[in-house]
Amino acid sequence: MKKELLMASALVSTLGAASVAQAVTATMAGSMKVGAEFESPDSGTDSNNVKDQSNFNISLSETTDGGTTISTSFEIVDESSVTADDDNAIKLTFTDGSALELLNAGSAASTHVVAVPGAAGEQGITGTSTNNAPGDVDFAAGSTVLGLEWHSAADFLADGLKMSASFSADSGAAKSAVARLENSWGLGATYVTTAGDTTLTIGGGIADAEINTLNAQPDNDKGGFNIGMSAVTGDLTIGVGYGDGDTFVSSTAAGTNKQVDGSVMKAGVKYVTGDLTLAVGIASGEAKDGDFGSAGTTDDSSDSTSASVTYAVASGVSAVIGYTTVDRNNDGVSSTLGGNAWYVGATMSF
């Protein structure tokens, strides 16, 4: 019996040592946001609620003897309900600086969207609507989980230039009344240069995808382009972005999928002074939507202006005051789902 216990102990010790030696390198990050939001819609009654949001991210990576780094990550998010965001790619980064993402790779057109400054905080106007005006400049980009994306090394073809290309394939699922993305491709590029004390970043991409449905097909498949630019001079950041293209909205009811022809413009300014960060952002989206096979004839629109003040209380701790006002039109008629909202809260990050 003693020998069996010794052998079992040795086996456990060996496996434990092996598992430690073979473990990949893991890093973690996350944040906790707690605050109060106050909404004043154009119609209905004012409301207030507590925003209690947390996220936890794990990044995994290891480098082979040949110098190739293998990495991935996942995230757990608690925003009213707990969800796990594990749709991240397996990324291979090679010794020359280029990289290849396998599965869940996304679209290269989205990879090179230029970050436009915007207000901090969790304020917004809620409500359901058939308004389909886009809010993100890469709304026309899309991909399936069966995809890959290639990234060039830095200074590709020219100093300051990086490029990406992506492709995703059909899952093979049977057609149904619910419209879905079938396959896609995308191209994107980012160019960074300096002009005096200012760092300029110019980026964008193009994308196209086919839509699969059992019923009528849309006049245009999903696809379009985005372009943006940001300028950083000391503590001041200014950015602008624009996107244009076609997308769709799925419906479970036969014949009621929507095709959307839209565009959106975003602009913002951020200034850091001491422990204070001041930010202002605007977004203006418009679209024409209609049933598949019937292009829309009336306009949807959504215009918002947001501002915030963030104060660094301590390392990793910040206090935020944010404000947003939204104006919407649906099918050419002023919508009652606009209004304004305030947010007061704090964020702790690690």
pLDDT digits over 254-285, tens only?
668 999 999 999 999 999 999 999 999 999 99
Report, as an integer, the average pLDDT of 321-335. Answer: 86
Q: What is the pLDDT of residue 183?
A: 94
59 falls within a domain: yes
In a domain, 234, yes or no: yes
- What pLDDT shows up at residue 294? 85
Residue 247 lies in a domain: yes
Structural domains counted in the chain: 1
In a domain, 175, yes or no: yes
What is the SS3 assignment for the chain? CHHHHHHHHHHHHHHHHHHHHHCCEEEEEEEEEEEEEEEEECCCCCEEEEEEEEEEEEEEEEECCCCCEEEEEEEEEEECEEEEECCCCEEEECCCCCEEEECCCCCHHHHCCCCCCCCCCCCCCCCCCCCCCCCCCCCCCCCCCCEEEEECCCCCCCCCEEEEEEEECCCCCCCCCCCEEEEEEEEEEEEEEEECCEEEEEEEEEEEEEEECCCCCCCCCEEEEEEEEEEEECCEEEEEEEEEEEEEECCCCCCCCEEEEEEEEEEEEEEEECCEEEEEEEEEEEEEEEECCCCCCCEEEEEEEEEEEEEEEECCEEEEEEEEEEEEEECCEECCCCEEEEEEEEEEEC
- Mean of the per-residue pLDDT values for the chain? 88
Q: 83 falls in which pLDDT band (50, 70, 90)?
A: low
91 in a structural domain: yes
Assess if residue 236 is contained within a domain.
yes
Distance CA 30, CA 73 (A): 13
Domain that holds residue 159: 34-349
Q: What is the pLDDT of residues 306-326, one digit of tens each?
A: 999 999 999 999 999 999 999
Q: Is residue 121 part of a domain?
A: yes
**pLDDT tier, 253 (very low <50, low <70, confident <90, very high otherwise):** confident
pLDDT score for 189: 98
* Cβ proximity of 257 and 249 under 8 Å: yes
Q: Does residue 198 belong to any structural domain of this protein?
A: yes
pTM, to two decimals: 0.85
- Using the predicted structure, report yes or no on whether residue 180 has a pLDDT greater than 50: yes
Could you tell me which of 258, 248, 255 has the C-alpha nearest to residue 223?
248
- The enclosing domain of 79 has a CATH number of 2.40.160.10
